[in-house]
Amino acid sequence: MTWFKKTKEIRMEKKGKTPEGLWVKCDGCKEIIYKKEIEKNLKICPKCNYHFRISARERLKFLVDEGSFVETDATLESLDPLNFRDSASYKDRLRDNQKKSGLNEAVIAGDALIKGIPVSLIIMDFHFMGGSMGSVVGEKVARTAERALEKEQPFIAVSASGGARMQEGIFSLMQMAKVSAAVGRLKEAGILYISILCDPTFGGVTASFATLGDIIIAEPKSLIGFAGPRVIEQTIKQPLPDDFQRADFLLDHGLIDLVVDRKNLRDTLARLFELLL
Q: What residues numbered 117-146 form the site for another protein, per CB under 8 A? A: 135-136, 138-139, 142
Q: What residues numbered 197-216 form the site for another protein, per CB under 8 A? A: 203-204, 206-212
Q: What residues numbered 62-91 form the site for another protein, per CB under 8 A? A: 73-82, 84-87
Distance CA 84, CA 273 (A): 43
Question: Is 48 an interacting residue with respect to another protein (CB under 8 A)?
Answer: no
Q: Which is nearer to another protein, 45 or 166 (CB)?
A: 166
**222 residue type, one letter:** S
Give the range of 37-45, 74-82, 91-99, 115-123 binding Zn ion by CB under 5 A: 37-45
Q: Looking only at Cα atoms, what is the longest distance across the chain?
A: 52
Question: Is 38 an interacting residue with respect to another protein (CB under 8 A)?
Answer: no
Question: Is 40 an interacting residue with respect to another protein (CB under 8 A)?
Answer: no
Length of the chain: 277
* CB neighbour burial string for 200-224, b if at least 16 within 10 angstroms, e if fewer: bbbbbbbbbbbbbbbbbbbbbbbbb
- Find the angle CA(59)-CA(246)-CA(136) to the nearest 5 degrees: 45
Q: What residues numbered 225-244 form the site for another protein, per CB under 8 A? A: 225-228, 231-232, 235-236, 238, 240-241, 244
Question: Is 174 an interacting residue with respect to another protein (CB under 8 A)?
Answer: yes
Distance CA 183, CA 142 (A): 7
What are the residues binding Zn ion (CB under 5 A)? 26, 28-29, 45, 47-48, 50
